[in-house]
Amino acid sequence: MSGRGYRKLRGNSRPSGGVAGASSRSVWQNSSQTFNSGERSSSAFPALNEPMRNLSIDTASARTSRSQSVRPSNSRRTLCSAVPDTAVLTPIRRPDKGGQNGQHIDVYTNHFRVDIDKVIVYQYDVDIVMIDRYGKIRFARKDDRWEVIQTIIKEKKDFPIIWYDEGKTLYSREILPEITLPMQFKLGKNEDMKIFQLNKLNLVRQDNIENIYKFIQQKTTIRPHETVRTIEILFKQHAHNDFICIRNQFYDRRRQLDDLGDGRGMAKGFYQALFLTQYGPTLNINLTFTCFYMPLKFVDFASQYLRKDITTDLTQNDLKVLGKIIRNLQIETMHTGRKIFYRFREFGRPANQLKFSCGDNNETTATTNSVEEITVADYFAKKHRRLQFPDLPCINAIKGNQNKPNWLPMEMVAIVEWQRAIKPLDKTQRGVVSKNTILKPVQRYEEIMKIVGNNRFDRDPYLKELSIHVDDKEMIKLKARIIPSPQIQYRSQGKRDAIEYVRGGKWRIRNWFCSTPEIHTWGMIYFGDQPDRNIRSILENFQHELPNLLERNGFVIHNVPSLIIKGIVDREITETLCNASKQQWQLAIVILNSYDSTRVYELVKRYGNRTIGLMTQCVNFQALKRNISNLRMYVENISQKINGKLGGINGIINLKSALSHSSKDDLFMFFGADVTHSTCSTDRPSIAAVVGSCDTTNNLYAARLCEQYPKTGRCSVEIIKELETMIGQLIQLFAEHHGGYLPNKIIFYRDGVDEGQYQKVLDNEVTKIKSACRNIYGKRPLPQLTFIVVKKRHNTRFFLYENKETLNVQSGTVIDQGITHPSQFDFYLCSQAAIMGTSRPALYHVLHDDNQFSSDDIQQLTYWLCHTDMRCTKSVSIPAPVHYAHLAAYASRALKSDEDHERDSLDDDNEELENYTLDDIKTKLMILDEKVADDMWFL
């Protein structure tokens, strides 16, 4: 698999003063600052693929100059890892030549074959900085660094073809002339002119492209990450002028964003990455859609985001909400005649109240009590123009690596274009976006082929440099298989076994659930606006019909639920739930009908699950209203979740029959694990969720949650630090449900892991699982462990061409050859039937397997587990245990109040991030009330 995306580079995307989009020309500052084009001795080079040190020819004057041109330290916080790089365990190899079971078919995939010449590529370190008007060294913006490199190529006659990563690395097939002295370049004209300095161009490494083929042919197990990155950067060069490149995604800079109405817009682009597969190098191309902030004036942006005119109505809470979203967002000035780039830090006092004093070098210091000082509003009226909105707060903007405040009026800045917006879309926006992003298979196929045609790989001068040829005539054709679906056991009204058959990934419930609880005490609670006669009629109808409809699925109901109607005041909500708990309700059906339903929902879940141990099933009143004439279907859906929450079992699948060899004495335990990260704040903790099966049918699961706090909020933790404790608790719970017997086979599905993290997860988490087992099993034989990573976020798609139509592949389609790993145990499985758009398969990578499963065994078992989800009567996209882990992690957001988040938030902007270890990561297990902690509250 391809290691996709850029590395984090110091100084990358650093804002700086200057003019964006200016015309460029270069000036060679003096004749002594030249390239040394003399040939190097071949003895100067180490062996291929080894780092090179001290190969540049430095004169004394060059060394002196470089010592005076030290690159400024980067004060921006970058993301580092607290997990050390190790290689203790080795991912297992594919145990056979792939699976054989199922119906064999042909499919197409959005990969294209790539041929690459086996040549040597030279890698150089390059250092480009900007010189400000005071002669100080500043970080050069990414686009400016690109312009400098392009200027060198254009101005220097016969300069060899090079390609550049826009950071500090440059590549060439030829040995480049050396820089013996720093060189300066002037870009732009007159007031727009900016001066840049090329400090060094040092050869550090040489790569042999043949390493790619050695890996594919299994002559080495070391994946050539740097070589793949070299080629992917080469593919980007030609597209740079017309496209915005974000890692491996490309967006046409000439196209306008689709306005989403809140200061954000949607852009359509394409994804492109190189894969190393059994078929050789392939280019994976897919459509991609991303939200960006609109390039608006700041006042307009804030008004759109808050959905009101901030010039007449702006509260402190508005500023708090806005500040969280845009912190560190790039902004640019509009009042100086040239653009100066900053990063947003915080809001301050209004411009007509905030005062500052002018010191040396135009430095300013904000103050609020010196009568001798000038206000920001008066300063701009004197130096630039009178402010239109002097009552609006000023913005503290940080420039480059400076820490001093720069107080700017809100109306004098704008949002820099093409900055990604990571805040989730609301329901209305998702509906708008879905119309453009959900594409039928034939539409996606045609769009991808159009992108491939427009890229014109055969005319790309950079690709010709490595004799790269892309077979762009057609997608790769593969052999695939459709494996059998399971039979699902229910209970007839005569209490005999009843079998339901799966067709097209779906089935119907025409019998009772396998086991159901007896409900003695329960009720309905309506939280919302004061109900009118129509609302009361709907509620009363639901109150009387729900028991009858639940009984059709096998529930034993002893009374009609009581109906309580309340408002949405916090105190009223908690008192009502507390009274229900005191009356020992087994279940509360909570009906929400308010503009503030999200807040009420979170309070209900937080108070019910954490404080009083009351199991709740929330119902949206508007959905109930839409389905009141067809309550049977509506209740059938929620009854499956209710049954699971109360300890019942919907349907049973004999998972052992999915395996070719299994003993009746085998006790299987299935785990799922996921880690979710906050999308809008780096200060909030990540949530690790682990679920484990409890009963003999592997239908009931319990969850354990843990918060992981990076010390500064910017340190990544790829692993679950407290996994050993969480696994230990769940295995002990399993034993309690099995008369003290422990599982002898553990199947562990892990989500939320990128490919570059596989080794860390393998070394750390497999070790922690086995350590937990040793602590519990003592001298008894340890269980056999199979550890599988599940990946949903990838860009591989499959298309079935049948009867001259391009269709989705069927549920149960497996691909384990062609575009899979050359040697390791991975496969694609499309387990769900696509309702809309193009189906997305899940990618499974078996990293560890004590059970020694065959390809057929692990594929069949995984597919059948996708049919065990309690929430629905269809096969889902990933196995139920890992889906439950995702649901538990997602639901955990409601378990913490805003006050909890404020106490937990961290604000250590200036703390250094180097040398962080797992000991620096704080963790806290999330404790639920014991009455619900071991139940499926997350359904």
Helical pair 533-551 and 631-645, crossing angle rounded to 10 deg: 60
Highest mean pLDDT among 1-15, 61-75, 410-424, 687-701: 687-701
Express as a percent the part of the chain with pLDDT over 70.
85
Query: What single-letter amino acid sits at 215?
Result: F
Q: Supply 97's token pair.
A: 């030549």
Task: Quote the distance between the C-alpha of residue 811 and its chain's center.
Answer: 26
Check pLDDT > 90 for residue 135. Answer: no
Check pLDDT > 70 for residue 463. Answer: yes
Check pLDDT > 60 for residue 73. Answer: no
Q: Produce one character per residue of 267-282: b if its CB has 16 or more CB atoms within 10 Å, e if not.
A: bbbbbbbbbbbbbbbb
Express as a percent the part of the chain with pLDDT over 90.
65
What whole-number distance in Å separates Cα of residue 305 and Cα of residue 318? 10
Q: Are 400 and 15 in contact (CB under 8 A)?
A: yes
Check pLDDT > 80 for residue 881. Answer: yes
User: Strand 745-750 and strand 668-676: pairing?
Assistant: parallel
With bands split at pLDDT 50, 70 and 90, how would you rate the model's confidence at 422? confident
Q: Are 506 and 832 in contact (CB under 8 A)?
A: no
pLDDT of residue 897: 64
What whole-number distance in Å separates Cα of residue 420 and Cα of residue 20? 19
pLDDT of residue 61: 33
Q: Are 621 and 528 in contact (CB under 8 A)?
A: yes
Task: Quote the distance between the C-alpha of residue 802 and its chain's center.
Answer: 34
Q: Are 817 and 489 in contact (CB under 8 A)?
A: no
Check pLDDT > 80 for residue 900. Answer: no
Residues contacting 211, CB < 8 A, separation 6+: 49, 220, 224, 227
Which residues share a beta bridge with 70?
Answer: none
Number of H helices, E strands in the chain: 21, 46
Which runs of consecutive H residues, i.e. helices, occur in 522-614?
533-551, 570-582, 597-606
Q: Which of 187, 286, 49, 83 is nearest to 754 (CA)?
A: 83
What whole-number distance in Å separates Cα of residue 618 and Cα of residue 377? 51
Where, residue-wise, is CATH 3.40.50.2300 in the chain?
516-645
Give the SS3 label for residue 905: coil
Predicted confidence (pLDDT) per residue in 801-855, tens digit: 998 999 999 999 999 999 999 999 999 999 999 888 999 999 999 999 999 999 9
Give the SS3 label for residue 415: strand
Predicted confidence (pLDDT) per residue in 211-236, tens digit: 999 999 999 988 999 999 999 999 99
Cα–Cα separations (whole angstroms), residue 241 to 150, 245, 317 = 11, 10, 42
With bands split at pLDDT 50, 70 and 90, how would you rate the model's confidence at 393? very high
Highest mean pLDDT among 47-61, 566-580, 917-931: 566-580
Residues contacting 788, CB < 8 A, separation 6+: 747, 748, 749, 750, 844, 845, 846, 847, 858, 862
User: Strand 616-620 and strand 587-593: pairing?
Assistant: parallel
Q: Are 113 and 279 in contact (CB under 8 A)?
A: yes
With bands split at pLDDT 50, 70 and 90, how would you rate the model's confidence at 315? very high
H or E element in which residue 446 lies = helix 441-455
Q: What average pLDDT does the segment 929-934 reach?
A: 96
Q: Which of 136, 179, 34 is nearest to 362 (CA)?
A: 136
Q: Supply 798's token pair.
A: 């499959």
Which region among 240-254, 354-368, 438-452 has the lowest average model confidence (pLDDT)?
354-368
pLDDT of residue 29: 37
What whole-number distance in Å separates Cα of residue 290 and Cα of residue 296? 18
Residues contacting 531, CB < 8 A, separation 6+: 539, 565, 593
Which runs of consecutive H residues, i.e. helices, occur in 738-872?
758-761, 767-777, 855-865
Predicted confidence (pLDDT) per residue in 333-349, tens digit: 988 777 888 999 999 99
Cα–Cα separations (whole angstroms), residue 211 to 165, 206, 226, 232, 281 = 21, 12, 10, 15, 12
With bands split at pLDDT 50, 70 and 90, how would you rate the model's confidence at 133? confident
What whole-number distance in Å separates Cα of residue 756 and Cα of residue 121? 23
SS (H, E, C) 720-777: CCCHHHHHHHHHHHHHHHCCCCCCCEEEEEECCCCHHHHHHHHHHHHHHHHHHHHHHH
pLDDT of residue 38: 39
With bands split at pLDDT 50, 70 and 90, how would you rate the model's confidence at 450? very high
pLDDT of residue 714: 56
User: Left if phi > 0, otherwise alpha if psi is -120 to 50, otherwise beta: which for 102?
Assistant: left
Higher pLDDT, 267 or 906: 267
Task: Tell whether pTM > 0.85.
Answer: yes
Q: Supply 822's token pair.
A: 């050359």
What whole-number distance in Å separates Cα of residue 110 and Cα of residue 647? 44
Q: Which of 912, 713, 905, 920 is nearest to 75 (CA)?
A: 912
With bands split at pLDDT 50, 70 and 90, how would you rate the model's confidence at 577? very high
H or E element in which residue 192 lies = none
Check pLDDT > 50 for residue 459. Answer: yes
The arrangement of strands across the sheet holding 364-367 comes to 364-367, 355-358, 374-375
CATH class label, 298-415: mainly beta
Classify domain 516-645 by CATH architecture: 3-Layer(aba) Sandwich (3.40)
Q: What average pLDDT does the segment 587-606 reach?
A: 94
Predicted confidence (pLDDT) per residue in 778-795, tens digit: 999 999 999 999 999 999
Cα–Cα separations (whole angstroms), residue 700 to 650, 692, 925, 936, 939 = 10, 8, 22, 7, 11
pLDDT of residue 172: 93
Higher pLDDT, 147 or 490: 490
Cα–Cα separations (whole angstroms), residue 567 to 105, 212, 481, 593, 634 = 58, 65, 55, 10, 25
pLDDT of residue 776: 97
CA angle 651/653/655 to nearest 5° reads 155
Residues contacting 533, CB < 8 A, separation 6+: none
Helical pair 723-737 and 767-777, crossing angle rounded to 10 deg: 40
DSSP states along 89-155: S-PPBPSSS----SEEEEEEESEEEEE----EEEEEEEEEEEE-TTS-EEEPPHHHHHHHHHHHHHH
Which CATH number among 1.20.120.1770, 2.40.420.20, 3.30.420.10, 3.40.50.460 corresponds to the domain 666-908+917-926? Answer: 3.30.420.10
Q: What average pLDDT does the segment 67-87 reach?
A: 48
Task: Provide the mean pLDDT of the chain.
Answer: 85
Q: Are 656 and 663 in contact (CB under 8 A)?
A: no
Q: Are 239 and 452 in contact (CB under 8 A)?
A: no
Check pLDDT > 50 for residue 732. Answer: yes
Check pLDDT > 50 for residue 709. Answer: yes
With bands split at pLDDT 50, 70 and 90, how would you rate the model's confidence at 30? very low
Give the SS3 label for residue 571: helix
Q: Which of 706, 46, 12, 753 is nearest to 330 (CA)?
A: 12
Check pLDDT > 90 for residue 448. Answer: yes
Q: Are 35 and 347 in contact (CB under 8 A)?
A: no
DSSP 878: S
Q: What average pLDDT does the segment 692-700 reach?
A: 96
What whole-number distance in Å separates Cα of residue 929 and Cα of residue 862? 32
User: Strand 35-36 and strand 701-709: pairing?
Assistant: unpaired
pLDDT of residue 268: 95
Higher pLDDT, 444 or 187: 444
H or E element in which residue 277 lies = strand 264-277
With bands split at pLDDT 50, 70 and 90, how would you rate the model's confidence at 264? very high
User: Left if phi > 0, otherwise alpha if psi is -120 to 50, otherwise beta: which for 556?
Assistant: beta
The arrangement of strands across the sheet holding 413-415 comes to 407-409, 393-398, 341-350, 330-333, 413-415
Question: Where are the extended beta strands (E) located within 132-263?
Answer: 137-139, 162-164, 169-172, 178-179, 183-187, 194-208, 243-246, 249-252, 258-259
Check pLDDT > 70 for residue 26. Answer: no
User: Strand 518-519 and strand 522-528: pairing?
Assistant: unpaired
Backbone angles phi and psi of 439, in degrees to 5: -115, 140
Where, residue-wise, is CATH 2.170.260.10 in the chain?
298-415
Residues contacting 407, CB < 8 A, separation 6+: 348, 354, 356, 364, 366, 376, 394, 395, 396, 397
Higher pLDDT, 185 or 459: 459
pLDDT of residue 86: 65
With bands split at pLDDT 50, 70 and 90, how would you rate the model's confidence at 85? low
Which region among 138-147, 200-209, 224-233, 556-565 has the lowest average model confidence (pLDDT)?
138-147
pLDDT of residue 291: 94
Task: Quote the distance between the C-alpha of residue 177 and its chain's center.
Answer: 42
